[in-house]
Structure 1
Amino acid sequence: MKPITDSTLISEVQGAKLPIVIKFEAKWCQPCKAMAPVLLDIEKEYGDRVQFYTANVEHCMLITQRYHISQIPALIVIENGLVTSKRLGSGSKQEIVQWMVQSIPSLRNDR
């Protein structure tokens, strides 16, 4: 997962040819740490169809405010520059993949 910052958000989102999933986390957040290997596994499977980023809420305050993140871990999907879905809390690989497939129409053709 590639880190995203307040200063790189605009260029990454505007230049995206694929849907984007951003994970909001903090180093001290245990559920965030537990979710990291799950998301890395999902990224291996879907990385050619979705761009994955991570944002540390302590360092990315503008992104956190822009997308109204009030709880971590949190995931958002951005397509064509717009947030199309948000998920709060951790989850299993199956739950997160199901959410992604529901949130990203281009992934539905693969199932």
Structure 2
Amino acid sequence: MATHKITDESFEADVLKSDTPVLVDFWAEWCGPCKQIAPILEELAEGLGDKIKIAKINIEDSPMTPSRFGVRGIPTMMLFKNGQMTSMKVGAMPKAKLLEWLGENQIA
């Protein structure tokens, strides 16, 4: 299962109403660290597909959602469970650190 592309319009249905936890990656085309972390997120989506949904939202195409959640820098990753943001990380990180973060949140 690959990462899901989401928008301001689909955010509520895809994230807030999801039955499974969702990791939302706030990114932009011009962001180097965002491009670094993209293949790692794809790997996680493949490996953890039944435990978590991994969604990407382009902050330039969909500016309302990042504004609503106070995104200041990218990449910003937020974990949502049962419609609530439960944890946040800013900046690119290696796969091991991402897995550790998900583990701390009882996902990986």
The one-letter code matched in structure 1 to 2:76 is: A
Task: Measure how far apart 1:96 and its partner are.
Answer: 0.5
Task: Measure how far apart 1:48 and its partner are.
Answer: 1.0
Query: Identity across aligned pairs (percent)?
Result: 27
Provide the aligned length of Structure 1 versus Structure 2: 106
TM-score (norm 2): 0.93
Task: Measure how far apart 1:37 and its partner are.
Answer: 0.6
**Whole-angstrom CA distance in 2 between matches of 1:40 and 1:66:** 25
TM-score (norm 1): 0.90
The one-letter code matched in structure 2 to 1:23 is: D
Q: Which residue of 2 aligns with 1:81?
A: 83
CA contact (8 A) 2:16 2:80 kept: no
**Whole-angstrom CA distance in 2 between matches of 1:43 and 1:26:** 19
Which has the larger share of helix?
Answer: 1
Q: Which residue of 2 aligns with 1:42?
A: 44
3-state SS of 2:54 partner: strand
CA contact (8 A) 2:16 2:84 kept: no
Task: Measure how far apart 1:79 and its partner are.
Answer: 0.3
Match of 1:2 among 4, 23, 48: 4
**Whole-angstrom CA distance in 1 between matches of 2:69 and 2:52:** 19
> Runs of at least 4 residues of structure 1 off by over 4 A?
none
3-state SS of 1:75 partner: strand
**Whole-angstrom CA distance in 1 between matches of 2:83 and 2:35:** 27
Task: Measure how far apart 1:9 and its partner are.
Answer: 0.7
Q: Which residue of 1 aligns with 2:102?
A: 100
Long gaps (5+) in structure 1: none
Task: Measure how far apart 1:33 and its partner are.
Answer: 0.4
**Whole-angstrom CA distance in 2 between matches of 1:14 and 1:86:** 15
**Whole-angstrom CA distance in 2 between matches of 1:76 and 1:4:** 14
